[in-house]
């Protein structure tokens, strides 16, 4: 594991990012910047004001509450940025045409149809995650023929369910990484991490300075998702074992609790030098070996453009 991951940066920033289709999104305290490499080779950059809801509402920003809120907020912002990047790649500065589907949707839903589509996409993503990573592992575990009504049986069943959930998550990430387009997204993910490392070490944001850094970062969303899975295994172990639908309802009810605890653990792991925290962070960092790939210099240029834009006053 690269020593740079455990080295305390000169700047402890809150800047985070996301890989897009042929681009990178960077998010600061009050602004979002997206840079995309268009088919012409030009880098298109756009900035928008964006203050996280946890900073706009004191209650939603309280510890253990902010985790679930931040997760949903990040999903909405991330999916919107991903959808925007798909359009920006082939954006024609002289003439931007709407597709027949866009016109059809706008006619029926009005000018705000894109917002409806965005939230529908978030709903579908959540439903898919619940079905694959919560309901399916529970059904598979139910096939094991041992007494799950006892305390020890319940603990064993929840442990098996957790292992199946982790296995499915890793398998899913590995399978999507085989897609050529997704692999390029993972390369931009690596470019995002390298650029943030350069900034946090107070280096000039040039391709040469950025290139030397590692693609693995302790504050990555991949690590956060792995922490969520680990925390869920621990919490679900104390809920007993019931009918699959009852188990699902219990797990859904506990999601805000899990997200809240996971978020605080994630924030702590990013600041702590503890060996225990390093051990907890290690599985997520290892998974980043799949979700981040070594970028080329053109991808680094895009990530640099995005970070510079979000840093501008």
Using one digit for the tens of pLDDT, what is the confidence trace for 166-202?
999 999 999 999 999 899 999 999 999 999 999 999 9
CA pair distance 303, 244, nearest whole angstrom: 44
What's the confidence (pLDDT) of residue 115?
66
Q: What is the pTM of this model?
A: 0.86
What's the confidence (pLDDT) of residue 93?
44
Q: Tell which residue, 108, 111, 55, 102, has the closest CA to residue 83.
A: 102
What's the confidence (pLDDT) of residue 24?
97
DSSP type of residue 6: G
Taking only the tens place, the pLDDT of each residue in 96-107 is: 455 565 666 667
Taking only the tens place, the pLDDT of each residue in 272-289 is: 777 777 787 888 899 999
CA pair distance 211, 295, nearest whole angstrom: 8
Residue 94 predicted with pLDDT over 50: no
**Any residues with CB less than 8 A from the CB of 8 and at least 6 apart, and which?**
273
3-state secondary structure 132-147: HHHHHHHHHHHCCCCC
Q: Tell which residue, 186, 287, 274, has the closest CA to residue 229.
A: 287
Query: How would residue 52 be classed by pLDDT, with cut points 50, 70 and 90?
Result: confident
Q: In this structure, are residues 5 and 214 in contact, taking their beta carbons and an 8 Å threshold?
A: yes
Across-strand partners of 49?
Answer: 31
Phi, psi of 124 (to 5 degrees): -65, -40
Query: How would residue 265 be classed by pLDDT, with cut points 50, 70 and 90?
Result: confident
What residue spans define the domains of the chain? 3-311
Helix (H, G, I), strand (E, B) or coil at 240: coil
Q: In this structure, are residues 222 and 185 in contact, taking their beta carbons and an 8 Å threshold?
A: no
CA pair distance 297, 206, nearest whole angstrom: 10
Q: In this structure, are residues 271 and 13 in contact, taking their beta carbons and an 8 Å threshold?
A: no
């Amino acid at each position: 594991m690269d020593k740079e991951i455990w080295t305390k940066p000169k700047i402890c920033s809150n800047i985070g990012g996301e890989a897009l289709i042929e681009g990178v999104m960077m998010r600061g305290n009050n602004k979002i910047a997206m840079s995309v490499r268009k088919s012409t080779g030009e880098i298109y950059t756009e900035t928008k004001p964006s203050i996280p809801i946890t900073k706009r509402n004191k209650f939603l920003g309280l510890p253990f509450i902010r985790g679930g809120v931040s997760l949903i907020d990040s999903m909405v912002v991330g999916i919107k940025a991903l959808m925007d990047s798909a359009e920006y790649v082939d954006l024609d500065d002289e003439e931007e045409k709407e597709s027949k589907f866009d016109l059809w949707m706008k006619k029926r839903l009005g000018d705000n149809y894109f917002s409806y589509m965005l939230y529908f996409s978030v709903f579908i993503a959540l439903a898919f995650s619940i079905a694959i990573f919560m309901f399916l592992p529970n059904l598979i575990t139910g096939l094991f023929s041992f007494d799950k009504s006892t305390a020890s049986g319940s603990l064993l069943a929840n442990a098996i369910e957790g292992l199946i959930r982790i296995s499915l998550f890793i398998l899913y990430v590995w399978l999507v990484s085989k897609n050529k387009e997704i692999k390029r997204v993972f390369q931009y993910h690596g470019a995002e991490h390298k650029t943030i490392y350069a900034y946090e070490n107070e280096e000039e944001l040039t391709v040469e300075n950025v290139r030397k850094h590692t693609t693995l970062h302790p504050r990555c969303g991949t690590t956060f998702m792995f922490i969520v899975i680990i925390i869920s295994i621990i919490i679900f172990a104390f809920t007993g074992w019931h009918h699959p639908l009852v188990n699902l309802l219990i797990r859904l009810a506990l999601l805000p609790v899990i997200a809240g605890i996971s978020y605080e653990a994630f924030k702590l792991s990013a600041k702590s030098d503890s060996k225990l925290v390093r051990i907890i962070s290690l599985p997520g960092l290892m998974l980043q070996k799949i979700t981040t790939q070594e970028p080329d210099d053109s991808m680094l240029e895009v990530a640099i453009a995005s970070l510079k834009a979000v840093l501008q006053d």
